[in-house]
Amino acid sequence: MSHAISDELLKRFDIPGPRYTSYPTADRFVEAFTESDYIQALEQRRAGSLALPLSLYVHIPFCESVCYYCACNKVITKHHERAAEYLRYLSREVELQVQHFGKGHAVSQLHLGGGTPTFLSDAELEDLLTMIRRNFTLVPGGEYSIEVDPRTVTDQRLQTLARLGFNRLSFGVQDFDPAVQKAVHRVQPAEQVFALVETARKIGFESVNVDLIYGLPLQTPESFARTLAQVNQLRPDRIALYAYAHLPARFKPQRRIVAAELPSAGDKLSMLSASLDAMSDAGYVYVGMDHFALPTDALAVAKRQGRLHRNFQGYSTQPDCDLIALGVSAIGRIGATYSQNAKTIEEYYDALDQGRLPIVRGLALTRDDLLRRSVIMSLMCQGQLQFESINLGHLIDCKSYFARELEVLAGYAEHGLVRIDDSGVEVTPSGWYLVRAIAMVFDKNLQVDQDRARFSKII
C-alpha cells in the first residue's frame, strides 16, 4: 500500500476517462464549427479584451524516428528540408490570424510541442521565434517552454534555446532501462540525459521537466524502481508520470509493440503505487493529474496559493487566457469556443494556399458547458467546488443544479476522496490522486454516453 493512497482505491477507480485539458473534451468537437465561427470569436476578442494576455501553442510534427508508444500527431522523416517549408506555412497562418485581431498582443505563455520541436535547426528555431516576436509581444515573467528529445540536443543547443528566450525545458525520458528503451524504439543513455540536465541548470533554465511512462513493454516493478531511483538522483524540478495506454487499433506505431511483453494490470498498479511513494519520499508535491513538482517550483507554489490553471498545454501558473494554436492538428481556445486545425500536412497546406485558416472543426460552448467547465477546472486546479462562487458566477443554485452529481459524490466521500458540506466540495489529499474520476462526475457528456472506450484508463 502506498502511504499516498491505497492500492484498493487505485484499482476501484481505474476507469477510462478524459484528461480534461478542456471541457467539453476534444472528441466532442464538430465539423459544423468552421473558419468563419473562429474568425467571429477572434473579432469579438479584439473588441472586448485587448488587455488580456494570450497563450501560444506551436505544433512541430516532425520526428526522425518513431517511438512505438507514441499517440501524437507526427510526421516521421529524416528530410530536414521539410521543416523550412512548414515554417513558411506557419508564417502564413500567423499572418491570417493577426489580420483578424491585430499585431502586438501580449503573450504570457508559449509552448513548442510535437512531434519533436528540436527537429528544427538552430537557424530555423531562430526564424520561428523572430516571426513570433514580429507578431506578438512575449512579456517578461512568462512561461516559454519547449519539448526536447535528448537525442537531438547538445550543450551548445541548450545555450541557443536560452538565448532565444525559452526558460523551461521538458525532456522526454519515459524509462532509463536499456531493454525497455529498445522495446519502444527510443534508445537514449541515462548519462546523456543527466549531462543535459546539468547543463540546463548551469545555463539557468527556470524549470526542467522529465516525462516518464509506466506500463511499457518489458517494464517490471523492479526495473521501474531503478528508473525512479535514477530520476531521484537527477532531481528535475517537475515530473510528468503517464500511464501507457495500448490502443494499437487507433495508433499505428503501437502495433509494433509486442502485447505479450506489456506488464500485467497488477504490475502496472504496483509501478504507480511505488512511484507515488518514491516521489513523496523525495519531497515532490503532487500537483494533480500525473504531475509532480519540487516545493520551490512555480507550479507547486501556484497550487499552494490557489493560482493553478489548466489548458490544452496542461497545468500552468499563468492566468486563464485565450490560446492561439498554430500548426497541423493544433487545438486552440478563444472566448467560449474551441477550434482545431487540419490533422494532415496536406490539408493544412491546402487551406493556407487558398488563403484560409486551416480550421476543420471546433465547438461553441453552451451556458451549461461553461458552467461545467468552471466546476471541473476548479476541481482539477484548486481541488474544491465553492457553491457560493458558482452561484454568483453563473446565476444558478449549485446544490439544486448538481443534485444528481452531489449524490454520486457522496459515495466518493465514503471512500475518503472528497469532503462535502454546506459550503461546497473539497478534494482530500487521497482524492487528489483520483481527481480525474472526481471531475468526471460533472461531465454531462459522460452521463449520456457511457461508451468511454475512446479514453485511456486513469491508472
Average pLDDT by consecutive 10-residue portion of the chain (459 residues)? 69 82 92 96 78 91 94 92 97 95 92 94 97 96 94 95 97 96 96 97 96 96 97 96 90 94 92 91 90 94 89 81 95 95 97 98 97 94 94 96 96 95 94 90 82 57
On whether 147 is known to bind a ligand per the annotation, the reply is yes
- Could you tell me if 61 and 206 lie in one domain? yes
Share of the chain above pLDDT 70, in %: 96
The distance from CA 178 to its chain's CA centroid, rounded to whole angstroms, is: 27
Retrieve residue 313's grid coordinates.
Answer: 498545454
Looking at 302, 323, 344, the residue that finishes a domain is 323
What is the per-residue pLDDT for 457?
66
381 labeled part of a ligand binding site: no
Residue where a domain stops, chosen among 292, 323, 354: 323
Task: Let me know: does 181 contact 69? Beta carbons within 8 Å.
Answer: no
The reply, when asked if residue 414 is annotated as ligand binding, is no
Q: Is 195 annotated as a binding residue?
A: no
State the Cα–Cα distance between residues 301 and 308, nearest whole angstrom: 9
| Whether 399 and 270 share a structural domain | no
Q: Is 67 annotated as a binding residue?
A: yes
Residue span of the structural domain in which 144 resides: 23-323
Q: Are residues 14 and 98 in the same domain?
A: no
- pLDDT at position 288 is 83
Please check if 174 is assigned to a binding site.
yes
Buried b (16+ CB within 10 A) or exposed e, 3-38: ebbeeebbeebbeebbbbbbbbbbeebeeebbbebb
Look at residue 147 in the predicted model and tell me its pLDDT. 96
The answer to whether 71 is annotated as binding is yes
Q: Is the domain of 189 the same as that of 283?
A: yes
pLDDT, tens digit, 9 for 90 and up, residues 172-207: 999 999 999 999 999 999 999 999 999 999 999 999
Annotation-wise, does 288 bind a ligand?
Answer: no
Tens-digit pLDDT profile for residues 326-382 = 999 999 999 999 999 999 999 999 999 999 999 999 999 999 999 999 999 999 999
274 marked among binding-site residues? no
Output the domain CATH number for residue 49: 3.80.30.20
187 and 275 belong to one structural domain: yes
Cell numbers given for 208: 526542467
What is the spatial distance between Cα 75 and Cα 62, in angstroms, rounded to a whole number? 5
- Give me the residue label for grid cell 512548414: 86
Any binding-site annotation on 7?
no
| d(C-alpha 435, C-alpha 317), whole Å | 19
302 is in an annotated binding site: no
Looking at the structure, tell me whether residues 240 and 98 fall in a common domain. Answer: yes
- Are 286 and 4 contacting, i.e. CB atoms less than 8 angstroms apart? yes
Residue 245 assigned ligand-binding role: yes
d(CA 218, CA 270): 15
C-alpha to C-alpha distances, 111 to 28, 311, 323, 357, nearest whole angstrom: 24, 12, 11, 20
Whether 422 contacts 386, CB under 8 Å: no
Radius of gyration of the chain (CA): 22
Q: Annotated binding residue at 114?
A: yes
Cis bond upstream, residue 253 (ω within 30): no
Last residue of a domain, one of 323, 342, 358: 323
